[in-house]
């Protein structure tokens, strides 16, 4: 992997280790956004084709990064929108069950809990060991389970679940597997067609390095026919690219995930930035980005263990991600250490009583050593 540092803003004197919070957009994306702003400043420069070609370019890049087909990708504004597409589209009611984990990110928890108003039974797993396991999922599944909704990577610990194991469990009961992939996509290799995942929602402003307010939803072909759609985007009507020939009454929707694109899909200011960021990640490759992050975090794990700190479950073999969390002996000591790091211009997050570290391609071994130099024995 080439030296990516020059492709981003100069963070010095800060050390930015918080990609799980906000991923910085690379310089190439800044340039594309500036061009898009110029288009809005001078609308005569805007081509009609932009409304369709730009979302399709983003769609195709996401498909390549995730091992999906472009026809299975909806361009959204958030992970919340993607999860909502499935939660509302399934038309669940009394007698149906949904299984979630209390450790899910709020958008993959509250969206499902809200279905209780319709008589849906929403079971919440409170993991005994802090992280949801296949055994705990199996214990709660029944023939009435319509949905298992989990996060691929836990936002507060960095723990990565086994998508194959979890998806196979719910499929065995005839249900579907819905995943929030926000903290994994872009930092971890993914091949959705090789996994029992029916839908995956993702915010694109973290590891995909896109602008805030961008995202996507993967909707497997076999799920598309099962979803109802109460509101449509007129761009989703067959022949929408020929505006003057749009049907007045007898219209048909495109039979692809794009029917769930967010309104104003051709938001060229946001999408030009996202398209450029996705192209940048394609060039770096997710594999190289992940290997780089793992080198940094392995060195951090080694240093933290030698100092007596407790690491999150993301340090367990088979559950690693691009996030690592750790804590001191007490909550107060952990909070004080986080403040010490911030005082020394090391930018990290504080989640669920742990310090969360999330480096990416712009970080270096030197920065990890600088962080370790500041951390005293526990």
Confidence of residue 249 (pLDDT cuts 50, 70, 90): confident
Report the chain's C-alpha Rg in angstroms. 22
Determine the length of the chain. Answer: 378
Beta bridge partners of residue 18, listed in sequence order:
358
Per-residue pLDDT reduced to its tens digit, 79-108: 999 999 999 999 999 999 999 999 999 999
Query: At residue 233, does pLDDT exceed 70?
Result: yes
Instruction: Decide if pLDDT at 241 tops 80.
Output: no
- Cα(306)–Cα(377) distance, integer angstroms: 8
CATH code 3.40.640.10 region(s) in the chain: 29-283
Confidence of residue 230 (pLDDT cuts 50, 70, 90): confident
The whole-number average pLDDT for the span 15-20 is 98
Q: What is the mean pLDDT of residues 176-196?
A: 98
Find the range with the poorest average confidence among 140-144, 193-197, 267-271, 311-315: 267-271
Task: Order the strands of the 215-219 sheet from edge to edge.
Answer: 73-76, 215-219, 199-203, 176-180, 145-151, 97-101, 121-125
Cis ω before 13 (30° cut-off from 0): yes
The alpha carbon of 69 is separated from its chain's Cα centroid by a whole number of angstroms, namely: 18
Classified by CATH at the fold level, domain 29-283 comes out as 3.40.640
pLDDT of residue 242: 76
- Model confidence, pTM: 0.94
Element (H, E) at 223: helix 221-224
Question: In the prediction, which pLDDT does 330 show?
Answer: 96
| Consecutive H or E run containing 176 | strand 176-180
2 band by pLDDT with thresholds 50, 70 and 90: confident
* C-alpha dihedral (83, 78, 324, 163), degrees to nearest 10: 30
Q: Which pLDDT value is given to residue 266?
A: 65
Is residue 282 a contact partner of residue 100, using CB atoms and an 8 Å limit?
no
CATH 3.90.1150.10 fits 5-17+286-374, yes or no: yes
- pLDDT of residue 213 exceeding 80, the answer is yes
Mean pLDDT within 296-314: 97
Query: DSSP string spanning 123-166?
Result: EEE--TTSS--HHHHHHH--TTEEEEEEESB-TTT-PBP-HHHH
Work out the pLDDT band at 49, boundaries 50, 70, 90. Answer: confident
Confidence of residue 193 (pLDDT cuts 50, 70, 90): very high
pLDDT, the chain, mean: 94
Smallest Cα–Cα separation from 189: which of 327, 289, 86?
289
Residue-wise pLDDT for 100-155, tens only, equals 999 999 999 999 999 999 999 999 999 988 899 999 999 999 999 999 999 999 99
Residues of the chain with CATH 3.90.1150.10: 5-17+286-374
Reported as a single tens digit per residue, the pLDDT across 333-361 is 999 999 999 999 999 999 999 999 999 99
User: What does the pLDDT average to over 232-237?
Assistant: 79
pLDDT mean over 263-282: 89
Calpha distance 227→232 (Å, rounded)? 13
Q: What is the DSSP string of 52-101?
A: HHHHHHHHHHHHHHHT--GGGEEEES-HHHHHHHHHHHTT--TT-EEEEE
pLDDT band at 250 (very low <50, low <70, confident <90, very high): confident
- Give the model's pLDDT for residue 346: 98
């Amino acid at each position: 992997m080439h030296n990516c540092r020059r492709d981003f803003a100069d963070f010095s004197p800060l050390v930015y280790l918080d990609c799980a919070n906000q991923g910085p957009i690379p310089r190439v994306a800044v340039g594309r956004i500036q061009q898009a702003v110029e288009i809005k400043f001078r609308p005569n420069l805007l081509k009609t084709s932009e409304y369709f070609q730009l979302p399709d370019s983003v769609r195709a890049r996401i498909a390549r990064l995730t091992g999906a087909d472009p026809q299975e990708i909806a361009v959204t504004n958030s992970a919340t929108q993607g999860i909502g597409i499935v939660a509302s589209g399934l038309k669940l009611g009394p007698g149906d069950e949904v299984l979630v984990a209390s450790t899910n990110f709020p958008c993959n928890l509250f969206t499902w809990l809200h279905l209780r108003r319709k008589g849906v039974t929403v079971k919440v797993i409170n993991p005994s060991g802090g992280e949801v396991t296949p055994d705990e999922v199996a214990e709660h599944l029944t023939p009435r389970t319509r949905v298992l909704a989990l996060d691929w990577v836990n936002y507060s610990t960095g723990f990565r679940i086994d998508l194959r194991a979890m998806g196979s469990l719910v499929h065995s009961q005839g249900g579907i597997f819905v995943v929030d992939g926000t903290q994994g996509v872009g930092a971890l290799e993914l091949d959705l067609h090789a996994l029992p995942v029916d839908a995956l929602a993702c915010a694109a402003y973290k590891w995909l390095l896109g602008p805030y307010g961008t995202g996507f939803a993967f909707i497997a072909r076999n799920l598309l026919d099962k979803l109802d759609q109460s509101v449509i985007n007129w761009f989703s009507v067959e022949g929408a690219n020929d505006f003057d020939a749009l049907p007045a009454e007898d219209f048909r929707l495109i039979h692809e995930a794009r029917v769930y694109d967010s309104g104003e899909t051709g938001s060229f200011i946001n999408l030009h930035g996202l398209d450029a960021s996705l192209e940048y990640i394609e060039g770096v490759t997710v594999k190289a980005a992940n290997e780089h992050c793992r080198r940094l975090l392995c060195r951090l794990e080694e240093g933290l263990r030698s100092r007596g700190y407790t690491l999150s479950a993301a340090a367990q073999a088979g559950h690693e991600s691009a996030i690592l969390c750790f804590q001191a002996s007490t909550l107060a000591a952990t909070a004080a250490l986080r403040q010490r790091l911030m005082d020394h211009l090391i930018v990290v997050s504080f989640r669920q009583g742990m310090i969360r570290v999330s480096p990416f391609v712009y970080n270096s071994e030197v920065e990890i050593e600088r962080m370790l130099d500041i951390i005293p024995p526990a």
